[in-house]
């Protein structure tokens, strides 16, 4: 098996096709598409056939255009002849307008409303069909089923504005800039300690009170739970901010949440 996935689609849907291809590659799959084949290449049909033969499964991106595509129909038929698993994804339209007759009775996954969540479900199905190991849990997946456990505030605020908004359950205060990027962090415990020890006015800038980002241990959405667990254990910290690829805050994972995840999944 050279490729985990062969993508069958209409070229009129190339924008959504590229997104889906990238989604599957982020899930750790190798994905074959015909985009690298030059127009008019005499060996095009043979390359398509060979790619299906070399793939573990065929993912059909269903749209009205794909339903009317002669080549999508042929690719489905060839995959069925080879007994390759077929995973239909409904990207546009409905069962009447977008589902090819050859797979009308197959269970499909609707990706129109929540593409990322739907791709994760499809990925789990593909791993089972191809006997692949589960993907290590990452924090992007964790946030899909977990609530945020932090309070955030813009960096230009004062102590008075901070005090008006926090509650006893706020846990930690995350300081963000105007682009929602992490600037610093304040724990409720540290804040109360400084209020007792220092002469702070209600106009004290919160930037004076925070721990700056350069001193904060944080992780990326692509980090695994094992990596977060090691960070928490090695530095004896209780909360870890999670940033996406643009350094924007996604959430905060706590020591107790990581422990609960390991109890549930181990």
Domains of the chain (ranges; CATH) run 3-135 (3.40.50.10140), 140-265 (3.10.580.10)
Supply the pLDDT for residue 147: 44
**Are 47 and 2 spatial neighbours (Cβ–Cβ below 8 Å)?**
no
Supply the pLDDT for residue 169: 56
Burial of 128 (0-12, 13-18, 19+ CB in 10 A): exposed
Supply the pLDDT for residue 171: 66
pLDDT, one tens digit per residue, over 237-253 is 888 888 888 888 877 88
SS3 30: coil
Below-50 pLDDT ranges, the chain = 144-145, 147
Supply the pLDDT for residue 170: 58
Q: What is the DSSP letter of 198?
A: S
Supply the pLDDT for residue 75: 97
Supply the pLDDT for residue 164: 76
Supply the pLDDT for residue 114: 83
Supply the pLDDT for residue 143: 56
The residues, ordered by sequence, that sit 6+ positions from 17 with a Cβ below 8 Å of its Cβ are 7, 9, 33, 61
Supply the pLDDT for residue 83: 97
Q: What's this model's pTM, rounded to 2 decimal places?
A: 0.56
């Amino acid at each position: 098996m050279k490729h985990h996935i062969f993508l069958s689609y209409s070229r009129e849907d190339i924008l959504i096709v590229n997104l889906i291809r990238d989604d599957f590659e982020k899930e750790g799959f190798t994905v074959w598409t015909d985009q690298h084949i030059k127009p008019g290449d005499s060996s095009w049909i043979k390359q398509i056939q060979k790619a299906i033969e070399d793939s573990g499964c065929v993912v059909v991106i269903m749209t009205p255009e794909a339903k009317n595509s002669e080549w999508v129909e042929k690719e489905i038929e060839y995959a069925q002849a080879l007994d390759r698993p077929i995973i239909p994804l409904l990207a546009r339209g409905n069962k009447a307008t977008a589902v090819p007759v050859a797979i009308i009775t197959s269970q499909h996954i609707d990706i129109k409303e929540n593409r990322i969540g739907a791709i994760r479900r499809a990925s789990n199905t593909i791993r089972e069909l191809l006997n692949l190991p589960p993907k290590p849990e990452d924090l992007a997946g964790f946030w899909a089923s977990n609530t945020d456990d932090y309070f955030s505030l813009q960096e230009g605020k004062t102590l008075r504005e901070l005090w008006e908004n926090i509650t006893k359950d706020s846990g930690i205060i995350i300081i963000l800039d105007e682009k929602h990027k992490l600037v610093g962090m304040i724990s409720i415990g540290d804040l109360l300690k400084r209020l007792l020890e220092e002469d702070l006015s209600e106009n004290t800038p919160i930037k004076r009170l925070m721990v700056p980002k350069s001193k904060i241990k944080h992780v990326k959405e692509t980090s695994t739970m094992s990596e977060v667990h090691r960070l928490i254990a090695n530095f004896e910290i209780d909360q870890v901010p999670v940033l996406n690829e643009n350094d924007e805050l996604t959430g905060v994972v706590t020591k107790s949440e990581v422990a609960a995840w390991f109890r549930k999944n181990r």
